[in-house]
Amino acid sequence: MSPVPKPAAAYPATRLRRPRAHAWSRALFAEVALSPADFIWPLFVTDGTGERTAVPTMPGVERLSVDLVAEAAKEAEGLGIPCIALFPNTPPERRTADGREALNPDNLTCRAIKAIKNAAPGIGVLTDVALDPYTTHGHDGLLAEDGRILNDETIEMLQGQALVQARAGADIIAPSDMMDGRVGAIRKVLEAGSFHDVQIMSYAAKYASAFYGPFRDAVGSGGFLKGDKKTYQMNPANADEALREVALDIAEGADSVMVKPGMPYLDVIARVKDAFNIPVFAYQVSGEYAMLETAARAGLIERDRMIIEALTAFRRAGCSGILTYYARDAARLLG
Is pLDDT at 223 greater than 80 in this prediction?
A: no
* 206 catalytic residue (yes or no): yes
Question: Could you tell me which residues come within 8 angstroms of residue 150 by beta carbon, excluding any fewer than 6 positions away?
Answer: 141, 142, 143, 144
Q: Is 114 a catalytic residue?
A: no
Give CA–CA dist 142/131, Å, rounded. 8
- Please tell me the distance from the alpha carbon of residue 272 to that of residue 260, in angstroms, as a whole number: 12
Catalytic residue among 74, 117, 188, 206: 206
pLDDT in tens, 57-88: 999 999 999 999 999 999 999 999 999 999 99
Single out the residue of 197, 181, 190, 137 nearest to residue 161, CA to CA: 190
pTM for the predicted model, two decimal places: 0.94
pLDDT, position 7? 61
Q: What domains can you pick out in the chain, each with its CATH number?
A: 33-334 (3.20.20.70)
The answer to whether the CB of 205 falls within 8 A of the CB of 273 is no
Taking the C-alpha atoms of residue 78 and residue 123, their distance in angstroms, rounded to an integer, is 10
CB-neighbour burial class of residue 116 (10 A; exposed 0-12, middle 13-18, buried 19+): buried
- Choose, from 114, 117, 226, 260, the residue flagged as catalytic: 260
Q: Give the Cα separation of 103 and 107 in Å (integer).
A: 8
DSSP 186-223: HHHHHHHTT-TT-EEEEEEEEB--GGGHHHHHHHT-TT
Estimate to the nearest angstrom the gap between the alpha carbon of 47 and the chain centroid.
22
pLDDT at 186 over 80: yes
The residues near 144 (Cβ < 8 Å, ≥ 6 apart) are 150
Sequence-ordered alpha helix ranges (H) in 9-65: 23-28
**What pLDDT, in 10s, does the model give residues 93-142?**
999 999 999 999 999 999 999 999 999 999 999 999 999 999 999 999 99
Distance of alpha carbon 86 from alpha carbon 112, whole angstroms? 8
